[in-house]
């Protein structure tokens, strides 16, 4: 889908209280490792030459009629539920804003672009492995229907970095991310910390104008409450989509959740091999705070902190009423996301919800391969013959599966037999951590990118087969 280039740098109009102008680091090399041509065309940048691409996304020369200088955004946040007022964009910045063909306002933001006033003791850089991991995570989530940021560009930058959690020195990179918004819960928290109700009102007006214009006719407390309700519902749908994808974000801090309910910032992420509520992504998450099964709770808790910040401009009872939207939005979102992944027909809500709960229970109890199940039963009973030939067909033959199969059969769409060649595979394409490590090894050892490129081709095939785009 080709679209014209439509620059629209709205964020800088908020003024100096919200961000600081910064300069990008100067890198010794600019070796292109990933260019998202699909999304480049959808935001009017598909015709950029390789030289122009490097100029804008490795040296960060301004895009035409866009932001004249990058902005490091100001925010605070709860990190593992401890409030931290000393954060902000420490190794990234907002580089440009533009519209896609659907008219959505999108950000081009960076990761690994150098030091800012919020770098503290960090070098502002990103390892090449970290960049590769973000490309893979965003691509897989997009294929699975999660509303996610897109990895737009990745350059290897030729620096040797020291990191305590991987062999050093290690190779460096700079990533450009295409996102619906970089305004975080922590952006509001920072303003509340400084008791700037006036700036909270300014930010609410901006967010409504940019992302929720249906509430522009409201004002004051009513507008703040309505906006909070939209964010709560969008965040609930996001949490639900992670659960359906079997994805563990790893760091659900309030600076890693944004106002549009879009998933972004992939550090210690994982996909679950089997349904395990205690499965964690981050080695430093020693208590399992952000484990797979606790992600809805983590997002709900973060929303409560956002509500606390908004209480400077809106009475708590109004905000609490809007927070009540979270549970029904999560339940509906989980049903919709699971049914989309399985290509099932939705029916009456309560029976669908009961089936969803039973399915999660069966997956957890049997420890069936998560991705294999969704591959085997895509289109429900229409895939029964494929499921009977699955590596885990034995699980489907046991009595415990009988009610699950009945639920699948009852929700099978007419004429839903999958026709894409992907579904003739015995095993699905997956993104387990062992695969990520396996494809990184040849890059690190001999600069062999063939496994990485093959994995990206697999992601593209999966996305096409599921016919889902975000």
Tell me which residues are annotated as active site.
255
Q: What is the largest CA-CA distance in the chain?
A: 65
How far CA 227 is from CA of 53, 114, 264, 310, 375, in Å, comes to 36, 33, 20, 10, 38
Q: Which of 459, 457, 456 is nearest to 469 (CA)?
A: 459
Q: Which of 107, 3, 102, 112 is nearest to 47 (CA)?
A: 3
Contact 182, 109 (CB under 8 A): yes
Bridge partners, 116 (sequence order): none
272: preceding bond cis by omega (within 30 degrees): no
Alpha helices by DSSP H, 176-293: 185-193, 197-211, 220-245
| 347 SS3 class | coil
CB neighbours (10 Å) of residue 326? 22
Bridge partners, 71 (sequence order): 21, 94
Query: 49: which residues sit within 8 A by CB, 6+ positions away?
Result: none
CA distance 135 to 122: 22
Question: Strands 105-111, 94-99: parallel, antiparallel or unpaired by DSSP?
Answer: antiparallel
Contact 262, 179 (CB under 8 A): yes
Long-range contacts of 46-52 (CB under 8 A, 24+ apart): 46/2
How far CA 341 is from CA of 96, 189, 319, in Å, comes to 33, 35, 33
Distance of CA 56 to the CA centre of its chain: 24
DSSP for 22-47, please give it: --PPPPS--EEEEE-HHHHHHTT-TT
Q: Which two tokens stand for residue 320?
A: 């609490």
Alpha helices by DSSP H, 324-348: 326-342
Taking the alpha carbons of 296, 380, 346, 356 in that order, is the dihedral positive or negative?
A: negative
Query: 29: which residues sit within 8 A by CB, 6+ positions away?
Result: 156, 157, 158
Query: 348: which residues sit within 8 A by CB, 6+ positions away?
Result: none
Contact 312, 199 (CB under 8 A): no
């Amino acid at each position: 889908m080709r679209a014209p280039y439509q620059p629209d740098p709205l964020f800088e109009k908020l003024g100096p209280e919200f961000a600081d102008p910064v300069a990008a680091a100067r890198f010794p090399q600019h070796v292109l490792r990933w260019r998202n041509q699909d999304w480049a065309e959808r935001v009017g940048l598909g015709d950029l030459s390789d030289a122009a691409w490097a100029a804008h996304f490795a040296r960060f020369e301004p895009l035409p009629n866009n932001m004249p200088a990058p902005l490091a955004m100001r925010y605070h946040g709860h990190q593992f539920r401890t409030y931290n007022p000393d954060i902000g964009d420490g190794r990234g910045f907002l580089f440009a804003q533009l519209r896609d063909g659907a008219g959505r306002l999108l950000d081009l933001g960076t990761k690994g672009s150098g030091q800012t006033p919020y770098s503290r003791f960090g070098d502002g850089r990103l390892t090449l492995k970290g960049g590769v991991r973000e490309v893979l995570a965003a691509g897989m989530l997009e294929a699975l229907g999660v509303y996610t940021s897109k990895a737009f560009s990745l350059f290897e930058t030729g620096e040797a970095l020291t990191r305590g959690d991987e062999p050093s020195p290690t190779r460096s990179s700079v990533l450009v991310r295409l996102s619906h918004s970089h305004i975080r819960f922590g952006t509001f928290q920072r303003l509340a910390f400084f008791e700037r109700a006036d700036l909270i009102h300014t930010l609410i007006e901006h967010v409504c104008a940019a992302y929720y214009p249906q509430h522009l006719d409201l004002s004051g407390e009513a507008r703040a409450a309505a906006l909070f309700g939209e964010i709560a519902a969008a965040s609930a749908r996001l949490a639900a989509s992670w659960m359906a994808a079997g994805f563990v974000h790893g760091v659900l801090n309030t600076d890693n959740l944004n106002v549009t309910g879009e998933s972004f910032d992939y550090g210690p992420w994982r996909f679950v091999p089997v349904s395990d509520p205690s499965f964690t992504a981050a080695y430093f998450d020693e208590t399992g705070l952000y484990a797979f099964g606790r992600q809805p709770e983590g997002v709900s808790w973060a929303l409560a902190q956002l509500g606390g910040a908004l209480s400077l401009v809106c009475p708590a009872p109004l905000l609490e009423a809007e927070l009540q939207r979270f549970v029904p939005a999560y339940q509906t979102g989980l049903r919709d996301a699971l049914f989309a992944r399985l290509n099932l027909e939705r029916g009456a809500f309560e029976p669908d919800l009961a089936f969803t709960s039973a399915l999660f229970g069966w997956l957890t109890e049997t420890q069936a391969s998560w991705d294999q199940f969704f591959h085997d039963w895509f289109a429900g009973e229409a895939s029964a013959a494929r499921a009977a030939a699955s590596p885990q067909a034995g699980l489907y033959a046991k009595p415990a599966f009988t009610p699950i199969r009945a639920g699948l059969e009852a929700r099978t769409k007419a004429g839903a037999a999958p026709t894409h060649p992907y579904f003739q595979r015995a095993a699905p394409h997956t993104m387990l951590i062992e695969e990520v490590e396996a494809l990184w090894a040849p890059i690190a050892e001999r600069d062999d990118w063939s496994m990485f490129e093959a994995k990206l081709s697999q992601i593209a095939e999966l996305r096409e087969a599921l016919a889902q785009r975000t």
